[in-house]
């Protein structure tokens, strides 16, 4: 345990034994000077003899070909510019897989290695990542399969039995194919947006725009498409916002679509001018429904990828994309209770200069 730190009252410094990963530290003579309890457990070490032993005798791990970690990577040799060893899979004598990486410390560029810090952890994190990727593939496949099946079925039927159907029946089938093709296009767009948000590569084409005009256009299109009852509440003139009109239109579209899928009754949309807590001017957007609302404990989770509530269909990406697009505009989005007891999604974006969005 390290020395006490006097901050008005003595308290213990965090020990290397409190680290979640195993840690082995060796000096310039390649002898181990520190090893924590987690490393003792993972490497099956004798804690009384580990310190002072050669690094190769402490990190006794092999690859699938039987070659040892130390002999393969030679942490004290190699290029004089090396500063670390890439994490890789290595195996104990009992076959358990461990992930091992190391940092090489030098007193100056090109100088010999003075300290090697080896980190050892289990493969649990990687297994979770692999499982997340598998869930992503399964979700995408499921969402794409439904419209593709419909498109394939109707087109195959039309090609093989065209003359058996009336013009009205053929038109109905083609309209269904067209709607499913639109759904596929939306799904692909959502997946691409999700990938850009995850990678931090979302770009905005900032220009002065009127948020109220965007809201009116999106709501009008939703009404024409036969959506549930909705209205835009009266509002005063709004300040001009610098933002990406297409991306903010997508935010409004996703929120209305989410209210239609998961809410009930009428959908009310409101916009207005409101300053942030620090006085920064901005514009807010509210989308209310008359459904059951979202429980407090679920409100943060609603913005995660592939989160769904209830039995309604959907990709589970709508609110995740909303949050990514709003945060790209330096804004914020939250879920509250509407006046009718349903869900209220509130978006706030600043009246930002172009530099805020392009830095």
Q: What gap in Å lies between CA 22 and CA 61, rounded to an integer? A: 14
Domain boundary pick from 144, 178, 199: 199
Q: 113 is in which domain, residue-wise? A: 5-122
Confidence of residue 37 (pLDDT cuts 50, 70, 90): very high
How many domains is the chain partitioned into structurally? 3
> Is residue 348 exposed (0-12), middle (13-18) or buried (19+ Cβ within 10 Å)?
buried
346 shares a domain with 237: yes
130 shares a domain with 116: no
58 shares a domain with 93: yes
CATH code of the domain containing 144: 1.10.287.130
Q: What local confidence, expressed as pLDDT, does residue 334 receive?
A: 93
The lowest-confidence range among 13-27, 139-153, 260-274, 320-334 is 139-153
Q: What gap in Å lies between CA 5 and CA 2, rounded to an integer? A: 9
136 shares a domain with 116: no
Which residues, at least 6 apart from 73, have a Cβ–Cβ distance to it below 8 Å? 85, 102
Percent of the chain with pLDDT over 90: 41
Task: Using the predicted structure, report yes or no on whether residue 4 has a pLDDT greater than 70.
Answer: no
Beta strands 267-273 and 207-209 are unpaired
Domain boundary pick from 199, 225, 248: 199
CATH code of the domain containing 39: 3.30.450.20
Task: Using the predicted structure, report yes or no on whether residue 180 has a pLDDT greater than 90.
Answer: no
Three-class secondary structure of residue 136 per DSSP: helix
Rounded to an integer, the average pLDDT of 53-76 is 93
117 shares a domain with 223: no
Domain boundary pick from 138, 164, 199: 199
CATH code of the domain containing 351: 3.30.565.10
Q: What gap in Å lies between CA 118 and CA 99, rounded to an integer? A: 10
231 shares a domain with 353: yes
Q: What gap in Å lies between CA 332 and CA 326, rounded to an integer? A: 6
The lowest-confidence range among 135-144, 257-266, 337-346 is 135-144
172 shares a domain with 82: no
Task: Please state the pTM of the whole predicted model.
Answer: 0.56
| Complete DSSP assignment for 292-352 | ----GGGTTGGGSTT---SS----S-HHHHHHHHHHHTT-EEEEEE-TTSSEEEEEEEE--
User: What is the residue whose two structure tokens read 């004290």?
Assistant: 76
288 shares a domain with 255: yes
User: What is the residue whose two structure tokens read 């679509």?
Assistant: 257
Could you tell me where the beta strands, DSSP code E, fall in the chain? 5-6, 10-11, 22-26, 32-35, 84-91, 97-106, 113-122, 207-209, 230-232, 241-243, 267-273, 282-288, 332-337, 343-350
180 shares a domain with 134: yes
The two counts, helices (H) then strands (E), for the chain are 10, 14
Which residues, at least 6 apart from 250, have a Cβ–Cβ distance to it below 8 Å? 193, 321, 325
79 shares a domain with 64: yes
Q: What gap in Å lies between CA 126 and CA 100, rounded to an integer? A: 12
240 shares a domain with 336: yes
Question: Which of 100, 89, 75 has the alpha carbon at shortest distance from 23?
Answer: 100
Task: Using the predicted structure, report yes or no on whether residue 106 has a pLDDT greater than 70.
Answer: yes
238 shares a domain with 337: yes
Question: Helices 124-161 and 167-199 sit at what angle, rounded to 10 degrees?
Answer: 160
């Amino acid at each position: 345990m390290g020395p006490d730190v006097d901050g008005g009252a003595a308290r213990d410094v965090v020990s290397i034994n409190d680290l979640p990963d195993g840690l082995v530290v060796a000096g310039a003579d390649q002898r181990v000077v520190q090893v924590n309890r987690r490393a003792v457990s993972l490497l099956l070490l004798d804690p009384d003899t580990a310190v002072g032993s050669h690094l190769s005798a402490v990190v006794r791990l092999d690859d699938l070909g039987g070659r040892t970690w130390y002999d393969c990577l030679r942490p004290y040799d190699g290029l004089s510019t090396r500063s670390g060893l890439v994490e890789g899979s290595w195996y104990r004598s009992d076959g358990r897989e461990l992930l091992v990486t190391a940092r090489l410390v030098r007193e100056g560029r090109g100088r010999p290695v003075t300290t090697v810090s080896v980190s050892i952890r289990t493969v649990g994190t990687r297994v979770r990542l692999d499982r997340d990727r598998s869930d992503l593939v399964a979700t995408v496949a499921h969402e794409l399969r439904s419209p593709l099946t419909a498109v394939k079925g109707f087109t195959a039927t039309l090609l093989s039995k065209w003359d058996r159907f009336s013009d009205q029946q053929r038109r109905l089938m083609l309209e269904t194919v067209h709607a499913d093709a639109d759904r596929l296009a939306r799904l692909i767009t959502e997946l691409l947006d999700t990938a850009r948000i995850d990678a931090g590569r979302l770009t905005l084409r900032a220009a002065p725009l009127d948020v109220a005009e965007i809201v009116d256009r999106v709501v009008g299109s939703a009404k024409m498409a036969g959506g549930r009852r909705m209205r835009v509440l009266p509002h005063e003139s709004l300040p001009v916002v610098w933002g990406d009109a297409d991306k903010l239109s997508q935010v409004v579209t996703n929120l209305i679509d989410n209210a239609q899928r998961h809410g009930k009754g009428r959908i009310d949309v409101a916009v207005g001018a409101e300053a942030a807590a620090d006085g920064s001017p901005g514009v807010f957007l509210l989308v209310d429904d008359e459904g059951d609302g979202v429980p407090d404990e679920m409100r943060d989770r609603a913005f995660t990828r592939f989160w769904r509530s209830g039995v309604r269909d959907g990709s589970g990406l709508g609110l995740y994309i909303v949050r990514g697009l709003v945060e790209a505009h330096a804004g914020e989005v939250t879920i509250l209770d509407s006046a009718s007891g349903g869900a209220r999604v509130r978006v706030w974006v600043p009246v930002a200069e172009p530099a805020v969005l392009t830095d």
